[in-house]
Amino acid sequence: MQLRAMAFDHPDAVKLNDQVQLEYVERYGDGEGDATPLDASMFERPSGLYLIAYDVHERPVATGGWRTQDENPMGYSDGDAELKRMYVVPEARGLGLARRILAALEEDARAAGRIRMVLETGDMQPEAIALYRSSGYEPCAKFGHYRCYESSLCMAKPLTRS
C-alpha cells in the first residue's frame, strides 16, 4: 500500500468520500451523511493534508485528512488539527491502513506546529472509536458541526513528541 498526498477534490477522494457518506447513511439512517462543511482548500499545506492509500493495483482504498482549527465559536482551541474523513473501503479493512494514515496525519500536523489533534465520530462507529482509543485519544469537550448531537463523540490527543 502506498500513501499519497492528494487534493480533497481529486476524483479518487470524491469517490471515497461518496462511499463514506453512504456508510454514514446506513449506520445512522438519517439519509444525509455528514453535513460538515468542507472545502478542498482546508486540506492544503501548510494548513492541512489529505491522504489516499492506494493498493498494489492502484485502486484508492482508504483516506484521511487533517485541517487547521483555532479558537472559534464552534468549540475549537488554538493549535488544534482536526481529523476528517478517515475511511477504509470494506475489502481493505483489517490491514492496518487506518492506523497508518492516522500516524502519518498526526506527524504532519505536529510538523506544521499544531499541538492537539481533535476528532468527532459517532456512537454507531465502534471500529473508529476503538482505533482512536487504542491510539491515545481521550474524550474531550464537544466541538464542531455536531457538537449538540447526543450521538456525537469528540476526542483529542496531544501532539507532543514521545
Q: What CATH number does residue 149 fall under?
A: 3.40.630.30
- Residues contacting 134, CB < 8 A, separation 6+: none
pLDDT at 80: 97
CA dist 108 → 5, 53, 66, 121 (Å): 11, 16, 9, 21
The cell for 124 is: 454507531
Burial of 10 per CB tally in 10 Å (0-12, 13-18, 19+): middle
**Residue predicted with more confidence, 52 or 148:** 52
Domain that holds residue 52: 2-158
Count of structural domains, the chain? 1
Does this model's pTM top 0.85? Answer: yes
3-class SS of residue 82: strand
| Span 10-59, pLDDT tens digits | 999 999 999 999 998 898 887 677 878 899 999 999 999 999 999 999 99
